[in-house]
Structure 1
Amino acid sequence: MATEVSVPTLGESVTEATVGEWLKKPGDAVAADEPIASLETDKVAVEVPSPVAGVIGELKVEVGDTVEVGAVIATVEEGAAPAGKGEEAGRASQQREEGQEKRESAGDAGKAAAKASASEVESLPDGGHDSGSVTMSPAVRRAVLEHGLDPTNIKGTGKDGRLTKEDVLAAAKSKQAAPQDASTEAAPAPSVPASSKGERREERVKMTRMRQTIAKRLKAAQDNAALLTTFNDCDMTAVIEAREAYKETFAKKHGIKLGFMSFFAKAAALALKDVPAVNAYIDGDEIVYHDYVDLSVAVSAPNGLVVPVVRSIDAMSFAEIELAIADYGKRAKEGTLTMEDMQGGTFTISNGGVFGSLMSTPIINPPQSAVLGLHRIEDRPVVRDGEVVVRPMMYLALSYDHRIIDGREAVTALKIMKEAIEDPMRMLIDL
């Protein structure tokens, strides 16, 4: 008996997706709830599970096809697994269940899993300059992480040059065999670069659905909003000293490093309470104000920029903020963020400093009206009490929609953030 496999619900307002990769082929054994395909939506990659155990029958769509929610994409022949394959599928199902149990215990394991400081989360400024990233499905991404490979060094054999799981496994096998081959075979003569042979190449790769959405949203922000950016510089001495003084105690108590992002998140929450227009948005001919701060944090994922949301950050502790942001950064790299993780958001912080950016003009994340851009910290000469001294300085950039936020309000909000960072005690006594 054949059971149809349909496109599941993808999230609020998401009605279609693109088939990114088939994880199973006709004749393959599959366990109940085992992923058989990866779909790309505007924001995340979604795996389609098999509703029953059996053998993959017909694949009704191809990689690259656009499918709507509820559409039938494949069939599964129930109870027809060839000898030996059912047991293999069962083991795969058990491994997935164990993995799910680990993910469900993220509340306890999050501290251990998110050891990387939130200041080290790979955030992208103004839409992200990640054109060198490789498009990967969740299954391929897991294989790359498991074998510790650089996906940019693997030649893809899938449609439009996409990497498949078989490509990754073949590369891993070659990597394991390389030491033995190197000891028994002479080193090949160095190849002559293609450019020196007079050869010129071009590569044409179709944009992923996520990249297309990023492009449309950023262009829409420029077209629809009256964008303006105000700058300030910030002396990071006090925050650096605070981190140095309390980093060991903080890490021991909370299981995570004390990073810069929690300081800026708290400073932003302080400013948004004093200047509510920066935390508002335009809806038709009305302005919608929020009495809470849901912070969008721009992070880099294998398929492009994603912006997960930390809810009610104004009511969170430093440790809760660090854990939440670090967990989002980790899950973005693994491709396990959900649609719910990225819905909403009233204000965005984008950290280009982790890539070495000195200054930028970030673009707002519609329908939000403002975004704070962070940049690299560098020692610069400044004047203090009539003397020139060297201090660790960072440029701050606040891009805002001038339709709703006046220049005075934008400058005031950024000044509050600057003062809170330069004197962290302000965040404790609500100044």
Structure 2
Amino acid sequence: MSGAGVPAARERRHTLYFLGEIRAFAPVFLDTEVDMSAVLAHRTATRGTGRPYSLVTYVLHGAARVLADHPEANAAALGGLVPRVLRHGSVDGKLTLDKTLGGRRVVLSAVLPDLDHASLAEIQRQVWHYADGDPATMPEFAALTRLQRLPRLIGAVAFRRVVRPLRTRARRFGTFAVTSLGHRAVDGFHSVGGTTVTLGVGRIVQRPVVRDGRIVIAPIMRLNLAFDHRVIDGAEAADVLTEIKQALEDFTEPDPGPAEPAAAPEPAEAAEPRSPLTEGSPR
């Protein structure tokens, strides 16, 4: 084996471009614990209607509604001599995916648009679409595979030109990101997903908690939030995290709808990469 090493795999170039692009971020990290009893009860109750809802679907559903109430956090920043901040007109969730491309395990992501208006079932159909699909043949990832075929320097420039403009940032990166490693023995982790708010989802563990003065066992999930300090401050981020926690702990769904796959959604123009620390699977 050569002491000089080997070039990074072509299938991971997009991740390296992405990591270079987010160097301007000023991330700050928060975390909390969520009692997932209500979510798991709903998941159990609807299991007989088809495939069960993914836990990340509940997080996407709750977070989208909270971000709609916090337009300051549903925004993006661009640095430079005159820093700019743009509030997004929609709430679009970025979901990370643990996929195989060209025979290599890679992390990809998909943007799910207008989630603040989408039902839980609608969000789940999109999650299934991306979780089940082959990125080598899906039209949503065609631009990504073309990017990987470009020479490295040209690819880096092309990546920046596509993702940097604020006016199209939501379609490329989403307005918030959700990534999960809870399918493995990971309690919690923090990641910067190219959005002002990124949520990291850990595993659910049965733990003792106090309810009404009594100790009971409850399913507890660690929920982490990374925010870009250029856009919002800690108090706003704390409000967002607290309200997402409350949305999950008090989860109710007025009209759950059929939990079954539907036709594929319109292609997301950008399924942009994520940090290699976020190789999660929808669960």
Give the TM-score normalised by the residue count of structure 1: 0.48
* Partner residue in 1 for 2:64: 269
Kept in 2: contact 1:230–1:411 (CA 8 A)? yes
Structure number, greater radius of gyration: 1
Secondary structure, in 3 states, of the residue corresponding to 2:60?
helix
In structure 2, which of residues 31, 35, 40 is the aligned counterpart of residue 240 of structure 1?
40
Report what 1:29 is aligned to.
Answer: none
Q: Which amino acid aligns with 1:359?
A: G
Shift of 1:380: 0.9
Q: Distance in 2 between the 1:229 and 1:205 partners?
A: 34
Match of 1:294 among 92, 116, 120: 92
- Where 1:359 maps in the other structure, the secondary structure is coil
**Are 2:242 and 1:412 equivalent residues in the alignment?**
no
- For 1:387 and 1:241, the matched residues in 2 are separated by 21
Change (3 A) 1:353 1:248: same
Q: Is the counterpart of residue 379 in structure 1 residue 206 in structure 2?
A: yes
How far is the alpha carbon of 1:202 from its aligned partner? 8.3
Match of residue 92 from structure 1: none
> Residue 227 of structure 1: which of 27, 42, 45 is its match?
27
Are 2:37 and 2:218, in contact at CA under 8 Å, matched by a contact in 1? yes
CA contact (8 A) 2:177 2:199 kept: yes
Q: Which has the higher contact order (CA 8 A, sep 6+)?
A: 2
CA RMSD of aligned residues (A): 2.5
**Cα distance in structure 1, aligned partners of 2:122 and 2:143:** 19
The range that moved more, 257-266 or 328-337, is 328-337
Which residue number in structure 2 is paired with residue 153 of structure 1? Answer: none
* Partner residue in 1 for 2:193: 364
Superposition deviation, residue 345 in structure 1: 1.4
Q: Helix, strand or coil: the match of 2:122?
A: helix
Give the direction of change, closer, same or farther, for the CA distance of 1:360–1:390 in structure 2 (3 Å limit). same
Q: Which residue of 2 aligns with 1:310?
A: 112
- For structure 2, the 5+ residue unaligned runs are 145-170, 256-283
Stretches of structure 1 lacking an aligned partner (at least 5 in a row): 1-199
Q: Which amino acid aligns with 1:305?
A: V
Alpha-carbon deviation of 1:372? Answer: 0.6
Contact 1:361 1:373 in 2 (8 A): yes
Q: CA deviation at 1:393?
A: 0.3
Shift, 1:275, TM fit:
1.5
**1:300–1:333 contact (8 Å) kept in structure 2:** no
Q: Does 1:217 align with 2:217?
A: no
Contact in 1 for aligned 2:135/2:141 (Cα 8 Å):
no
Letter in 2 for 1:338: F
Fraction of identical pairs, as percent: 29
Measured at CA, do residues 272 and 343 of structure 1 come closer, stay the same or move farther in structure 2, by a change above 3 Å?
same
Name the residue aligned to 2:225: 398
Aligned amino acid, residue 45 of structure 2: A
The structural deviation recorded for 1:428 is 4.9
For the 8 Å contact 1:359–1:375, the answer to whether it is kept is yes
Give the C-alpha shift of residue 208 in structure 1. Answer: 2.5
Give the aligned partner of residue 206 of structure 1.
7
Q: 1:281 to 1:330 in 2, by over 3 A?
A: same
Q: Name the residue aligned to 2:141.
A: 338
CA distance in 1 between partners of 2:173 and 2:135 (Å): 21
Q: How does 1:27-426 map to 2 (within 5 A)?
A: 204-221=5-22, 223-249=23-49, 251=50, 256-284=51-79, 285-303=83-101, 304-332=106-134, 336=138, 337-339=140-142, 343-365=172-194, 368-425=195-252
| Residue deviations 1:304-326 (CA, integer Å, cap 9, x gap) | 21111111122222111111111
**CA distance 1:297–1:360, shift in 2 (3 Å):** same
* 1:45-91 deviation per Cα after TM superposition (whole angstroms, max 9, x unaligned): xxxxxxxxxxxxxxxxxxxxxxxxxxxxxxxxxxxxxxxxxxxxxxx
CA distance in 1 between counterparts of 2:21 and 2:9 reads 18
Question: Structure 1 residues 357, 333: closer, same or farther in 2, change over 3 A?
Answer: farther
1:214 maps to amino acid: T
Distance 1:343 1:332, change over 3 A: farther
Letter in 1 for 2:89: D
The verdict on how the C-alpha distance between 1:313 and 1:204 changes in structure 2, with shifts beyond 3 A counting, is same
| Residue deviations 1:380-419 (CA, integer Å, cap 9, x gap) | 1111122221110000001010111110111110111110
Q: Is the 8 A contact 1:232 1:396 kept in 2?
A: yes
The two structures have a TM-score, normalised by structure 2, of 0.71
